[in-house]
Structure 1
Amino acid sequence: MTNATAVRLERVIAAPPERVYRAWLDPELVRQWLAPQGMSVTRVEIDRSRYSIWHGDAGGFECEVLEQEQDRRIVFRWGFAGPDRIEGPVFDSLLTITVNPAPGGGTELTLVHEQLEELAAALPEIAANVGVGWAGTLDKLAAVAEAGA
């Protein structure tokens, strides 16, 4: 499922679920992969419930961890903040990451990013690319997790 208001992606990653799960919460690992193609992470701040990722002058994400099930599931309030992040709006959505053991080894990762209506209304060109952005970013996540993160 991919449209301007919801994205669902599934991926099998050749790494154990606990490693894939940790790659979402370890600041040094997040720095290596959580940026769309052509961009890099310039700042990462993660604590028990707050999650901030910045991509230079392009903006980034101000998020909150709403739910966590160790090595299995993370639910975020995922806030897109554009270049005017200090004074500009943050467009909230819901991001759910689920990791499960894959048959034959590895991890089945499911990403569901929903409640994108506010972002789609304000920035339709960005909302239209959420699925493509996540697809490329998950390729980078797989490379980091498979390298033994």
Structure 2
Amino acid sequence: MAYEFRVSGRIAKPVRDVFEAVVEPKQLSGYFTTGGAQGRLETGATVTWDFHDFPGAFPVQVIEVEQDKKIVLRWGAADGPDDGRQYETTVTMTFEALDDGRTLVAIAEEGFRDGPAGQKAAFGNCEGWTGMLCALKVFVEHGINLRAGFYK
């Protein structure tokens, strides 16, 4: 059984503001990619993300971007190579405008290999994406970088 997960949360801002906070590298670097993000998330692009808690910039492939609705990414699995072969997981973010003016953001990641290493990687990334949603909410609603000083 390959591992996968889904997390979600509601952010009290219009979908356009929330979506831009994810696709625009300066904003993303202000609350999530603590080591910096290079490149706007656009279909077909390869951008780089860096995190203080996992130093070293790495590539993120942007598979699909549907304005204000969906972002699909692929990146190297957190459990690394198996028998010398790196594999990738797929991250799908969806954005839904709610009737009360808020935005529902859901993030799913799939493709982790079966076994203890894949399970550990999936749980770790689930924790990371949950933290990202919390940081996104605080940043977009209040302009605060929740992760500032959290890791270093």
TM-score range, shorter chain: 0.7 to 0.9
CA RMSD, 1 decimal: 3.0
What is the DSSP-based 3-state SS (H/G/I as helix, E as strand, rest coil) of the residue aligned with 1:33? coil
For residues 72-129 of structure 1, the C-alpha deviation after alignment (integer angstroms, 9 at most, x for no partner) is 11111133578xxxxx9754111111101113111011111111227x6656533322
For residues 3-30 of structure 1, the C-alpha deviation after alignment (integer angstroms, 9 at most, x for no partner) is 9721111211101101111111111111
TM-score by length of 2: 0.74
Select the residue among 45, 68, 77 that pairs with 2:38. Answer: 45
When residues 148 and 57 of structure 1 are mapped into structure 2, their CA distance, relative to the original with a 3 A threshold, is closer
Aligned pairs, number: 137
For residues 35-72 of structure 1, the C-alpha deviation after alignment (integer angstroms, 9 at most, x for no partner) is 5xxxxx21311144112111247245421111111111
- 1:101 paired with 2:97, answer yes
Give ranges in structure 2 of 5+ residues lacking alignment.
145-152
TM-score by length of 1: 0.76
- 1:13 paired with 2:11, answer yes
What is the DSSP-based 3-state SS (H/G/I as helix, E as strand, rest coil) of the residue aligned with 2:3? coil
Select the residue among 71, 84, 88 that pairs with 1:92. Answer: 88
Select the residue among 49, 69, 74 that pairs with 1:72. Answer: 69
Give ranges in structure 1 of 5+ residues lacking alignment.
36-40, 83-87
Moved beyond 2 Å, runs of 4+ = 56-61, 78-82, 88-91, 120-128
**Percent of aligned pairs with the same residue?**
26
